[in-house]
Structure formats: structure tokens, C-alpha cells
Amino acid sequence: MPVGSMNRKVSSTVLATRLRDAIGRLNRRLRQTRPLSELTQTQLSALTSLDLAGALTPRELAEAERVRPPTMTRIVAKLEERGLIGRSPHPTDGRQVILAATAAGRAVLAAHRRARDAWLAQRLAGLSADERDTVARAIEIIERMSR
């Protein structure tokens, strides 16, 4: 339903459903724009979590990604094999290791971000100035909602 024809008193539940669906579709399209590589979406997600956090133990990474530790062990092995993450000793617990993205891993993530940004910028360029202003206002609201 076009925004202009939408009833101004639409319920929060209806808005929540439409917003979730729209964000989900946009997110799927953005994932599809990623450069072709041997990395799975799950591996990219784990690498992104490490990049954002700086460094995590394997268990912390598994929790952040909401996967079981054995699954994360396989993901970490693939990322290490490609030189995208590295291990270092835990500073206080000799039984643990710390995982962090390497320079190569950060470069892969940057390439993926550039591809997504380019696709999204192209789509935004196709909008009218008023529509881009509306998107800018929506971004401010969504950022506020996500705090």
C-alpha cells in the first residue's frame, strides 16, 4: 500500500509487520549484492562480529552469533584457513584464546560493505529528492528506535 494512501491511524502492530517485512526484504537484497567469494553468509557474519567487537573468545563469538560452540569451531577453522582471523593467547586464562579479524579479514569486509553501499546508493539515486528526504527522516527515527 503506498504511504500516501495509508490510514494515518494505522496500528502499531500493522506498522511493525510492514516495517519488519520491508527491512527483511532490503536486507536480503543487500546480502545478494555481496561480491562472489567462498565465504558463506554465516562466516561473513562471524567475521563482522569479530571486527565490531575487536576480539572475542570462541565461546563469546558463538554466543554473539547464536550458534553452538561446535558450529563456531568449524566456522573459525574456515576463517583461519583463509587467513581472515587470527588467534592469540587469552591475557588471563591460559586455557582460552582470543580471536580477532586480520588485516585480510577487514579488507574482505570492506569490499563487501563497498558493494552493498554502491548498490544502495544506486537505488537511492533513483528516488526523487523528496523521497530521499523522507528516507533520511526515516533513518533518524529508526536509529532512535534501535537505541
Segment 117-136, tens digit of pLDDT? 999 999 999 999 999 999 99
Q: Are 103 and 47 in contact (CB under 8 A)?
A: no
User: What's the average model confidence in pLDDT over 14-22?
Assistant: 94
Amino acid in position 99: L
In whole angstroms, what is the distance from residue 2 CA to residue 16 CA?
16
- Give the residue extent of every domain in the chain: 10-145
Segment 61-95, tens digit of pLDDT? 999 999 999 999 999 999 999 999 999 998 888 88
Q: State the Cα angle at 36 between 34 and 40, rounded to 5°.
A: 80
Angle between helix 41-53 and 69-81 (nearest 10): 90
In whole angstroms, what is the distance from residue 87 CA to residue 80 CA?
8
Tell me which CATH code domain 10-145 carries.
1.10.10.10
pTM above 0.85, yes or no: no
